[in-house]
Amino acid sequence: MYKFKYHRTSSLNEARSQFGSCDEPRYIAGGMTLIPALNLRLDRPSDVLDIGHLDELRGIQDDGDTISVGATTRHAEVAKSSVVQSKIPALAKLAGGIGDPLVRNRGTIGGSLANNDPSADYPSAVLGLGATVHTDSRTIAADDYFMGAFMTALEEGEIITKISFPVPETAGYGRLAQPASRFPLIGVFVAKTSSGPRVAVTGAGPGVFRVEEMEKALSGNWSAEAIKDIAVNSDEFASDIHASAEYRAAMITVMAGRAINS
């Protein structure tokens, strides 16, 4: 680990101000991504700005037709929230299956989305529910936010403040986890929303994506039977010691079916 200056910021405004005055700054909330990167010397910031304790970025609010989750809200808090469990139980289920207890009690939803690991769970829920990402300067629709592996629409220094999830008519999450890391080899979030069905896949390739053919099939028949014969093209999928690209593609259909039946 290289030397850096640590700053415990007192407000969002202070964090933004300090970021602009540092040479190579990084924000930290839960540290589940940045700390390993520092330990492995994969990153070399001049300054680390801690925003994980800021109350203005934390908490879960019931807004009626939507649920707002603050960016520094821990995964365990989302999983245990009575509001989330009542209105979007699939989101609570997803959060409760992330990593291990340490990760769930330290990791934050905003950190996960800012990092945008192609095998992270949360991106599938955000895209699958058609959520909105709020930052310190604007709002970004889920369909415009994810740009590929570890790439997002966030600009330099932009801070996620909260995520607004529309409450769906119904939703489910099907997940095939890698036993050691608990990252999904395939995760499929399926939701029946006011604008129609949405099917979002994580873990397969370079980033989360929607399966439009499944969405069209589900619009006329909300059942696992409606999508059981839909094959997903595996040309851009990952293929490694854990699963081949073809296996990942096959599991998308299986996990989507389980999500619908969950």
pLDDT tens, position by position, 71-106: 999 999 999 999 999 999 999 999 999 999 999 999
pLDDT of residue 12: 96
pLDDT of residue 180: 84
Phi, psi of 170 (to 5 degrees): -160, 155
CB 91 within 8 A of CB 130: no
1-54 fold: 3.30.43
Kindly report the pTM of this predicted structure.
Answer: 0.96
Angstrom CA distances, 4 to 11, 38, 41, 149, 254, stand at 21, 10, 12, 27, 46
Write the DSSP symbol of residue 227. Answer: T
pLDDT of residue 179: 85
- Low-confidence residues of the chain: pLDDT under 70: none
The pLDDT tens digits for 20-30 are 999 999 999 99
Distance between CA 126 and CA 60 in Å, rounded?
A: 15
CB 85 within 8 A of CB 50: no
pLDDT of residue 190: 98
Distance between CA 124 and CA 118 in Å, rounded?
A: 10
Domain ranges of the chain: 1-54, 170-261
**pLDDT > 70: percent of the chain:** 100
DSSP string, 92-143: HHHHHTSS-HHHHHH-BHHHHHHHT-TT-SHHHHHHHHT-EEEESS-EEEHH
CATH code that applies to domain 170-261: 3.30.390.50
pLDDT of residue 149: 94
Structure tokens at 147: 């740009």
pLDDT of residue 55: 94
